[in-house]
Chain A
Amino acid sequence: MGLKTCSSTCLAALLMAGNGIAAAAKMPSQEEMWEIIQKQQREIEALKAGQKANTEKVEATADAVESVETGKQGPLASTSGSSWAENTQIGGYGELHYNNLDSKKEIDFHRFVLFFGHQFTDKLRLFSELELEHADSGDGKNGEVELEQAYIEYDITQNQHAKAGLFLLPVGILNETHEPPTFYGVERNPIEKNIIPTTWWAGGVALNGEIAPGWSYDFAIHEGLDTSAGNNYAVRNGRQKTSEADANDLASTARIKWTGVAGVELAASVQYQEDVTQGNDADAGHAWLYEAHADIERGAFGLRALYAMWDLDGSGPKSVGADEQEGFYIEPSYKFSLFEQNFGVFARYNKWDNTAGSNGGDSEKKQYNAGVNYWPHPDVVLKADVQQQDNEGTSKNDNGYNLGIGYQF
C-alpha cells in the first residue's frame, strides 16, 4: 500500500516537473517580450492611423456630397466663390377662385406668381416677381402678365437697407405680404383694393431699416399715380405700373412700424404727391394718403384692423366727391386644430367710399364677410367665405359665396 502510494505521487511529481521544464523552455526572454510589445504597439498605431484616415475620408466624402447636394450653407457660409445656382432662389404663389355672387359665377385662376432672387454678394441682391393674372393674356384676353417686383437691394449696415428698381409700396397689411396662406378670405378685402390699390408697385428708390428694437421705418421716392376725371379720380385706376410711367410728379411714401411685442404690429403710412394727374388736369392738384393698421396674432386669436384715407385737392375731384376717399375694416379671427388639422375662422366688416367728399352723394359701401381657412400644410390653404353687402345709393349689392385654393413655396 505504501509503495503504491509512493509510486503514484512520484509519477505525478515527475510529470509536473517535466511540464514545467517544457513550459520554461517555451517562455520568451525579456528581449523577446519587449520586441513583441513593440510590434503590437506598431500595429495599434497603424490601426489608429488607418481609422483616422478612414474618418477623414468619410468626412471628405460627406463634404463632397453636401457641396454637390446642397451648396455651401454652413454656419459661416458666404456667397463669395459660390456658384450661380447656389445664389439663385425661386419661389412663388398662386390662387384659384370660384365666385358665386350676384354679379358673377366664375372660376378663375386669379394669380400665378413666380419669384426669382439672386444674391450677388452677401450685401447685394436682386428680387423679382412675375405674375400672370387670370390665366391667359394677350389681345382680347382677360388676363395680363405683369412685372410686380424687380429691384436691387443693398445692405448699408446690418439693419439698414437701400433698394432701387420696381418694388411694392410700404402701405397697408396686404400690399407687401399677400401670399394666399397668410390671409383670410378668398378675395382680398375691398379696402386694400379700392382705397389702397393693392397690389401697388412703383419704380423708384427706397430706404428701410430699424431705428430701435421693435421700431422700423420705410421711406421711398417713386413714380406717382396718374388718375383722371374720366374715372372719377379713383386711385386704383391711377396706377401706372411702371410701364412708361409719366414721371412729371413723383410721390413720396413713408411708414413707421412697431413690432415690439411678439404677434403685434402697429403701423402708419403717409404718401404725398404734388399732382395726382401728372399735370394733365388743371382742376386737380396734390394728394395725400393716410393709413394706419393693427395686425395682432396672440395665441389662437387674431385681429386685423385698418383705416385708410385719401385727400385729393382741386375742384375736379371735389366736383364728384372724390376729394375724400376712405375706408376701414376690422377682422377678428380664431385658429384651432381638429383631427390634427389646422383651421381658422374669421369675420370681417368692411366699409369704404371712393366718393366720400361733400358732393359725392350716397355712395358708401358696406360688406360683411365670414369664412374659414383650412391649411393641410402651412403653405397650402383651402378657403371658403360668404359675403353680404349693404350699399347706399344706386350701387347694387353683390352677395354670395367664394371658394378658393392657394399655395406658396
Chain B
Amino acid sequence: MYLLPGKLGLLSLLTLVSTMVVASGTYQEPEDFLSQAFAGDVPEPGIIWLTGERKDAVKSLLGHRYHSLRIRYWKTAERSAWILDEIGKDQPITTGLVINAGRLEQIKVLVFRESRGWEIRHPFFTEQFKQARLNESRELDRNIDGISGATLSVRAMKKLAALALYLDAELRAFDVSSSP
C-alpha cells in the first residue's frame, strides 16, 4: 500500500512520461478561431491604433499599456472579432473574442503558455462571460467567479473581455484609423 517511494516510484514516473504524446500548448490556431467565428467568410482585417484617449483608456482597463501600438480586428455589421494577449503570471495568454451588438458572444483561450491556471480554458469558466457588456465605469456588468490557484489567469481573462468590449465600442463610435 506504499505510494511507490524510491526506485519503483522513479521507474513508474519515467514510464508515465514515456507514454505521453508530445504536443504544444496551442488549443486552437487564431486563423481557425476566426474562420469558425465567421463561418469561413472572414472579413478583411482592420487596424485600430491605440493613441490619444484610447491609449489611456486601454491602460486603465489593463493596468498597464497594451504590448502593441495597434490591434488588428475583423468586423462585420454587428460583430467584431479580436485576438488579444495578456500576461497571467508571467506568460501571455492568447485569447480569441467575438463581440456581437456590444455584448461578448465568445471568449476562448487559444494559446496558454503558463504552467498553472489552465482551467480557465474550460467552458465552465468561459461560459460566465457570455452576453457580458461594459457598464458606465467600463467594468464587466457581472461577477466572474475565479479559480483557486489561477487568480492571475482569471484576472487576465477579465481584462481581455473588457478590452475587446471597449475596442468594439470604439469601432462603432469613431474612425479608428486615427486618434479619437
Using a CB–CB cutoff of 8 Å, the interface residues on chain A facing chain B are: 62, 65-66, 69-71, 73-77, 89, 91, 115, 117, 119, 122-123, 125, 127, 153, 155-162, 173, 176-177, 182, 205, 207, 210, 213-214, 216, 219, 221, 224, 249-254, 259-265, 270-274, 295, 297-300, 378
Q: Is the CB of B148 within 8 A of A205?
A: no
With A158-B27, A260-B124 already in contact, the answer to whether A273 and B5 are too (CB < 8 A) is yes
- Which residue among A71, A263, A264, A295 has the maximum number of chain B CB atoms within 10 Å of its CB? A263
| Nearest CB in chain A: distance from B28 CB, A | 11
Q: Is the CB of B145 within 8 A of A299?
A: yes
- Sample of 25 A–B contacts (CB below 8 Å): A69-B67, A73-B68, A75-B83, A122-B113, A123-B24, A123-B25, A125-B115, A155-B115, A157-B20, A158-B112, A159-B118, A205-B10, A207-B16, A210-B118, A213-B124, A216-B119, A221-B4, A221-B9, A221-B13, A250-B6, A252-B2, A252-B9, A272-B3, A273-B5, A299-B143
- Contact partner, A207, options B13, B25, B92, Cβ 8 Å: B13
| Nearest CB in chain B: distance from A399 CB, A | 31
| Nearest CB in chain A: distance from B139 CB, A | 11
- Which residue among A89, A216, A262 has the maximum number of chain B CB atoms within 10 Å of its CB? A262
**Complex Cα spacing A205 to B70, Å:** 43
Q: Which residues of A contact B91 (CB under 8 A)?
A: 89, 119
| Nearest CB in chain A: distance from B11 CB, A | 10
**Complex Cα spacing A147 to B28, Å:** 37
Q: Is the CB of B10 within 8 A of A75?
A: no
Q: Which residues of B contact A91 (CB under 8 A)?
A: 89-90
> Is B128 an interface residue, CB under 8 A from the partner?
yes
> Is B80 an interface residue, CB under 8 A from the partner?
no
Q: With contacts A259-B147, A261-B124 known, what are 13 further pairs, Cβ within 8 A?
A: A66-B68, A73-B67, A75-B84, A75-B110, A157-B22, A160-B20, A205-B10, A224-B5, A252-B2, A263-B145, A264-B148, A271-B3, A272-B3
For window 1-50 of B, CB contacts with A under 8 Å fall at: 2-6, 9-10, 13, 16-17, 20-27, 30
Q: Which residues of B contact A213 (CB under 8 A)?
A: 122, 124
Using a CB–CB cutoff of 8 Å, the interface residues on chain B facing chain A are: 2-6, 9-10, 13, 16-17, 20-27, 30, 67-70, 83-85, 89-92, 94, 110-113, 115, 118-119, 122, 124-125, 128, 143-149, 151, 155
Q: Nearest B residue to A270 by beta-carbon distance? A: B3
Q: Nearest B residue to A262 by beta-carbon distance? A: B145
Q: Is the CB of A162 within 8 A of B17?
A: yes
Q: Which residues of A contact B151 (CB under 8 A)?
A: 177, 182
**Complex Cα spacing A76 to B113, Å:** 11
Q: Is the CB of B122 within 8 A of A249?
A: no
**Complex Cα spacing A177 to B146, Å:** 14
Q: Nearest A residue to B119 by beta-carbon distance? A: A259
Q: Nearest B residue to A254 by beta-carbon distance? A: B3
**Complex Cα spacing A262 to B30, Å:** 25
| Nearest CB in chain B: distance from A309 CB, A | 16
**Complex Cα spacing A89 to B145, Å:** 27
Q: Which residues of A contact B128 (CB under 8 A)?
A: 262
Q: Is the CB of B3 within 8 A of A252?
A: yes
Q: Nearest B residue to A378 by beta-carbon distance? A: B155
Q: Is the CB of B90 within 8 A of A265?
A: no
Q: Which residues of A contact B83 (CB under 8 A)?
A: 75
List 9 A-B pairs, minimum CB-CB distance, nearest first: A263-B145, A89-B90, A252-B3, A265-B148, A262-B145, A70-B67, A272-B3, A295-B148, A157-B23
With A156-B17, A162-B17 already in contact, the answer to whether A262 and B124 are too (CB < 8 A) is yes
Q: Is the CB of B146 within 8 A of A262?
A: yes
- Contact partner, A75, options B20, B85, B119, B125, Cβ 8 Å: B85
Q: Nearest B residue to A66 by beta-carbon distance? A: B68
- Which residue among B92, B115, B146 has the maximum number of chain A CB atoms within 10 Å of its CB? B115
- Contact partner, A298, options B113, B118, B145, B149, Cβ 8 Å: B145
- Contact partner, B5, options A177, A216, A272, Cβ 8 Å: A272
Q: Which residues of B contact A123 (CB under 8 A)?
A: 24-25
Q: Is the CB of A219 within 8 A of B26?
A: no
**Complex Cα spacing A219 to B9, Å:** 10
| Nearest CB in chain A: distance from B68 CB, A | 5
**Complex Cα spacing A157 to B118, Å:** 13
**Complex Cα spacing A272 to B10, Å:** 15
Q: Which residues of B contact A219 (CB under 8 A)?
A: 13
